[in-house]
Structure 1
Amino acid sequence: MLKRADEGPRKRIGPFPEPLAALPDLSWRMLHGLRQSMPRVLLPAPHSVAPPLGRMGALEVRLATTQREVKKAQRLRYKVFYEEMSAIADIQAQVSRRDRDAFDAICDHLLVLDHDTITRSGEPAIVGTYRLLRQDVAERYSGFYTANEFDLAPLLERHRGLRFLELGRSCVLAPYRSKRTVELLWHGIWSYVLSHRIDVMIGCASLEGTDPERLALPLAFLHHNARAPEEWRVGALPARRVAMDRLPAEAINSKAALQAMPPLMKGYLRIGAFVGDGAVVDRQFGTTDVMIVLPVSAINARYVNHYGAEATRYAA
């Protein structure tokens, strides 16, 4: 899986180290046996604190457990998406100075905290966040956020026995956009994937800009080199679909195409993710979105080894 963990807006996953050949049949059962999934954190008592999922020096990653922490994550998202990037705020967002929607109430919120930076309330500053929505929760309420742009129903129907997790609304404060912070976020995600026995991560990745013609090179590269096989393919909603095959394969300069992509999107490709069929222009956030599908079975073996099959590399 959620826009960017390392350089700005929302709904995305994050970069990993260098690639290795994919391990063809890697599943959560093979990785860590029949572990019992942890109960979902439902934002309980006002002063409760979730156990850390990982730690690197002063930085800690854990889930939010209070509405106060969720509001702080929403303020962080507003600062990045609306004040720094090109998202267009509605009146509600302008008044509250928070990026929020109805999905926040049913999602888990992953936080990165800096214990060397203490706020006026005496708490460590929240410097990064990721929004996580499990399929079982989505199905009890209004579905997945990405269903507003992509037709998820056929994918979910083809894989009815698998557990899906949507990653989104990811951002990190500018001074913290480093490999170190992104790795810690991903350690938290990997811990969450293991504890909830997730089989597939989904989400959107964004190219900056709303003119598909100006994005023809990276879109065409993704179409010809990363499009999901039929088993994992997801199409953009017909009314919003923008073609990605804007250039023939032989006309693509791969090096230039990769340079035109945000690090987050390249990270998806390195780890083994697939891209859906068709893109969607998101004018509110000033981006052109592609669908990312990342089966746990397709994750490159090196990344599993890097974070540990039991998510022990940065364990607190």
Structure 2
Amino acid sequence: MRELPNPTFALSPVSLPRGSLHPAQPNSAVDFLPRRAKSAIEVTWAKHQDEVREAQRLRFDIFGTEMGARLSSHLPGHDIDLFDDFCEHLLVRETATGMVVGTYRVLTPAQAKRAGSTYSDTEFDLTRLRDMRNRMVELGRSCVHAEHRQGGVIMALWGALFEFMDRNQLDVMIGCASIPMLHNGLVSGDAAASIWRQLRETHLAPIQHHVRPRLPLPVEELNAHLDIEPPALIKGYLRLGAKVLGAPAWDPDFNTADLPMLMRTADLPARYRKHFKSAV
């Protein structure tokens, strides 16, 4: 087991190991059993390289095997990219088996400076968000095991994320929310174009926060009038108060249309704030 190298966090002493933004008490994990969860779960932050590898294997299984993404990695069976070493990795485990069934990675402002950018910067021009950089966390690589997509795992992840933001006095989260290009058995951007049409009418951020895709999905050439709902994860973000920052980008490696999204902790509805606080 190899301890992760000491990152330079602006919010904590550099002598602390990876995970130093997180309390190390024995009961610091989040344990609760949502009504529809199949088994008890706990949320922890990866503190060793082998724990990060567990998250990367889950990501490969879902993104590579299940979704057919083209993943280039030096370690077979793992989804690894250049941002992983700069990120905190949030893990949800089955209590009984210890198996990782859900994960997020979190890039803090200090670590984004060390990395040179966020992942979202590679897909979008984020110039209009420059005033938020010093308090902006990027969320990415969210995935949940197929047998645990009933809601409990993602709620546990969100609870830990909002606790993290509150404890470290950060108030903005950004990320790319993916829409699969496969719809009704066919590879097409029509579903993404239709979802974008709906959300720009109801959940578009103010113009001063709009961003531009570097590789735009050609929405003007697609059928944007399908009667289709956004993916569950995007609907969840919207319920938490998130806004869409602009038109989708096309990610050819993952074969998805990615919507840029921003969420402020101040916009979290009271019912979710109460639920998350009761879970930690």
Contact 2:162 2:265 in 1 (8 A): no
Equivalent-residue separation in structure 1 for 2:128 and 2:279 (angstroms): 37
Matched, 1:42 2:17: yes
Contact 2:178 2:259 in 1 (8 A): yes
Equivalent-residue separation in structure 1 for 2:146 and 2:13 (angstroms): 33
Matched with 1:25 is none
| Structure 1 outlier segments of 4+, above 4 Å | 37-41, 243-248
Matched, 1:314 2:260: no
* AA partner of residue 166 (structure 1): E
Equivalent-residue separation in structure 2 for 1:278 and 1:176 (angstroms): 30
* AA partner of residue 126 (structure 2): L
Matched with 1:26 is none
| Match among 64, 70, 78 for residue 98 of structure 1 | 78
Deviations for 1:163-212, whole angstroms, at most 9, x for unmatched residues?
00100011111111121111111111111111111110000111110633
Unaligned runs of 5+ in 2: 1-10, 34-39, 182-186
Equivalent-residue separation in structure 2 for 1:267 and 1:244 (angstroms): 24
CA shift, 1:241, in A, is 2.0
Equivalent-residue separation in structure 2 for 1:167 and 1:245 (angstroms): 29
Matched with 2:105 is 131
Q: How does 1:109-188 map to 2 (within 5 A)?
A: 109-117=89-97, 124-157=98-131, 159=132, 163-188=135-160
* AA partner of residue 108 (structure 1): E
Equivalent-residue separation in structure 2 for 1:242 and 1:80 (angstroms): 23
Matched with 1:196 is 168
SS in structure 1 opposite 2:95? strand
CA shift, 1:297, in A, is 2.4
Q: How does 1:276-287 map to 2 (within 5 A)?
A: 276-287=245-256
SS in structure 2 opposite 1:228? coil
* AA partner of residue 56 (structure 1): F
CA shift, 1:244, in A, is 5.0
CA shift, 1:245, in A, is 6.8
Equivalent-residue separation in structure 2 for 1:286 and 1:80 (angstroms): 13
Matched, 1:205 2:177: yes
Contact 1:274 1:292 in 2 (8 A): yes
* AA partner of residue 152 (structure 2): R
* AA partner of residue 55 (structure 1): D
Moved more, 215-224 or 279-288: 215-224
Contact 1:202 1:294 in 2 (8 A): yes
Equivalent-residue separation in structure 2 for 1:231 and 1:301 (angstroms): 26
Identity %: 35
Matched, 1:304 2:273: yes
Contact 2:83 2:115 in 1 (8 A): no
Alignment length (residue pairs): 253
Matched with 1:69 is 51
TM-score, normalised relative to structure 1 = 0.73
Deviations for 1:90-148, whole angstroms, at most 9, x for unmatched residues?
3x36x52100011110100000111211xxxxxx2111111000112101222101101
Q: Return the structure number with greater relative CO, CA threshold 8 A, min gap 6.
A: 1
SS in structure 2 opposite 1:292? strand
Matched with 1:82 is 64
Q: Structure 1 residues 230, 242: closer, same or farther in 2, change over 3 A?
A: same
Q: Structure 1 residues 245, 199: closer, same or farther in 2, change over 3 A?
A: farther
Unaligned runs of 5+ in 1: 1-36, 118-123
Matched with 1:270 is 239
Q: Structure 1 residues 153, 216: closer, same or farther in 2, change over 3 A?
A: closer
* AA partner of residue 235 (structure 2): K
Moved more, 268-277 or 285-294: 268-277
* AA partner of residue 241 (structure 1): P
